[in-house]
């Protein structure tokens, strides 16, 4: 793979392409969330990216002046190489890793602490202020272990951001969750609430696709995608990993074609 990407020329569509890079490190997970858009579970094939590919992608993002790199899965902390990946990325760009935090104790927490820096954010999925709002979708006992993981991170002075998927169980209790996370010392600016998306394992929620999602370049073992919400075939931009400059060119072409035939509005989906 090439060591760097040339800077592409600017176009009228560039404002529609956020300077974010999403990296699916793996697809296996310690949970089987019933609404998982990635279809991750303990039985899922790992489909992991190697360190060399991840570093090449980060180098490309830095060369193109991207603003942020996001690591997701699966559960990224199931793979041994995640610490080196996060260290390399956060030395160069703002970096966020998405996790359920249940594994962040003992040696894993120690290894994460060893690479701690101001560019690294840990984003934890938490769907309620109590097990009754969180566990029905994510598994019995998961809420307590996630909250313990959050407190472990806070004790090591990590910046923790929370991500909440709105469901039938928590939709009338989001204010209670806000009170809960504020009491934990996590400000509103570090709490994201997103609607349920009808993708992957989820049989309910908002219909999402290229027609209504602002593109956020996403890479996994199988290629490049429009948005991290889905690595389904309908969202695929390439069936192999490409230089990011080439991906941007493909996105521009699609956006221009779409704007020529439709006035549909794209929106962000945190």
Residue 113 has pLDDT above 90, yes or no: yes
Q: CA 182 to CA 117: how far, in whole Å? A: 23
**Phi, psi torsion values for 38, nearest 5 degrees:** -90, -5
Q: CA 77 to CA 2: how far, in whole Å? A: 28
DSSP 10: P
Residue 265 has pLDDT above 90, yes or no: no
Could you tell me the CA-to-CA distances from 134 to 103, 126, 127, 129 in Å, in that order? 17, 7, 5, 8
Do β-strands 191-195 and 218-220 pair in parallel, antiparallel, or remain unpaired?
A: unpaired
| Residues 21-68 pLDDT 10s | 999 999 999 999 999 999 999 999 999 999 999 999 999 999 999 999
Predicted confidence at residue 12, as pLDDT, reads 42
User: Tokens representing 173?
Assistant: 């209790």
Could you tell me the CA-to-CA distances from 196 to 135, 147, 161, 219, 254 in Å, in that order? 15, 22, 19, 22, 26
pLDDT band of 1, cuts 50, 70, 90:
very low
137 touches 169 (CB < 8 A):
yes
Predicted confidence at residue 260, as pLDDT, reads 78
User: Tokens representing 211?
Assistant: 């027609």
User: Tokens representing 9?
Assistant: 């020329």
Q: CA 28 to CA 78: how far, in whole Å? A: 8
Q: CA 120 to CA 130: how far, in whole Å? A: 27
Question: Three-class SS of residue 205?
Answer: coil
**Phi, psi torsion values for 91, nearest 5 degrees:** -75, -15
Q: What is the DSSP string of 37-84?
A: TT--BTTS---PPPHHHHHHHHHHHHHTT--EEEEESS-GGGSTTHHH
Predicted confidence at residue 5, as pLDDT, reads 34
Domains of the chain: 22-242 (3.20.20.70)
pLDDT band of 259, cuts 50, 70, 90:
confident
* Average pLDDT for 98-112: 98
Share of the chain above pLDDT 70, in %: 91
* Average pLDDT for 81-104: 98
Residue 262 has pLDDT above 70, yes or no: no
Q: CA 197 to CA 174: how far, in whole Å? A: 18
Taking phi over 0 as left and psi of -120 to 50 as alpha, with beta for the rest, 106 belongs to: left
Question: Three-class SS of residue 254?
Answer: helix
Share of the chain above pLDDT 90, in %: 88
* Average pLDDT for 252-268: 75
Residue 269 has pLDDT above 60, yes or no: no
Q: Give the burial class of 174: count Cβ atoms within 10 A of its Cβ; 0-12 exposed, 13-18 middle, 19 or more buried.
A: middle
Residue 263 has pLDDT above 90, yes or no: no
| Residue of 16 and 192 predicted with greater confidence | 192
Residue 114 has pLDDT above 90, yes or no: yes
Predicted confidence at residue 268, as pLDDT, reads 58
pLDDT band of 2, cuts 50, 70, 90:
very low
Mean pLDDT of the chain: 92
Residue 16 has pLDDT above 90, yes or no: no
* Average pLDDT for 115-144: 98
């Amino acid at each position: 793979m090439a060591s760097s990407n040339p800077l592409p020329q600017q176009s009228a569509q560039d404002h529609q392409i956020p300077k974010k890079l999403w990296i699916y490190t793996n697809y296996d997970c310690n949970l089987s969330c019933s609404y998982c858009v990635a279809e991750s579970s303990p039985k899922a094939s790992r489909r992991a990216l190697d360190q060399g590919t991840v570093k090449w992608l980060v180098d490309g993002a830095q060369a193109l002046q991207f603003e942020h790199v996001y690591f997701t899965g699966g559960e990224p902390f199931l793979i041994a190489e995640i610490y080196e990946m996060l260290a390399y990325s956060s030395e160069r760009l703002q970096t966020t890793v998405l996790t359920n935090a249940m594994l962040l104790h003992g040696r894993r927490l120690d290894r994460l602490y060893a690479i701690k820096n101001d560019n690294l954010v840990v984003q934890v999925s938490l769907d309620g202020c109590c097990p009754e709002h969180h566990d029905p979708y994510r598994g019995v006992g998961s809420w307590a272990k996630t909250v313990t993981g959050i407190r472990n991170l806070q004790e090591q002075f990590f910046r923790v951001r929370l991500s909440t998927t709105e469901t039938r169980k928590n939709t009338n209790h989001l204010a209670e969750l806000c009170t809960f996370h504020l009491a934990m010392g996590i400000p509103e600016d570090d709490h994201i609430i997103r609607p349920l998306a009808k993708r992957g394992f989820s049989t309910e929620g908002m219909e999402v696709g290229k027609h209504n999602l602002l593109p956020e370049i996403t890479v996994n073992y199988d290629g490049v995608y429009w948005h991290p919400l889905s690595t389904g075939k309908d969202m695929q931009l390439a069936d192999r990993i490409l230089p990011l400059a080439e991906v941007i060119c493909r996105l521009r072409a699609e956006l221009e074609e779409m704007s020529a035939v439709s006035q549909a509005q794209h929106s962000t989906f945190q």
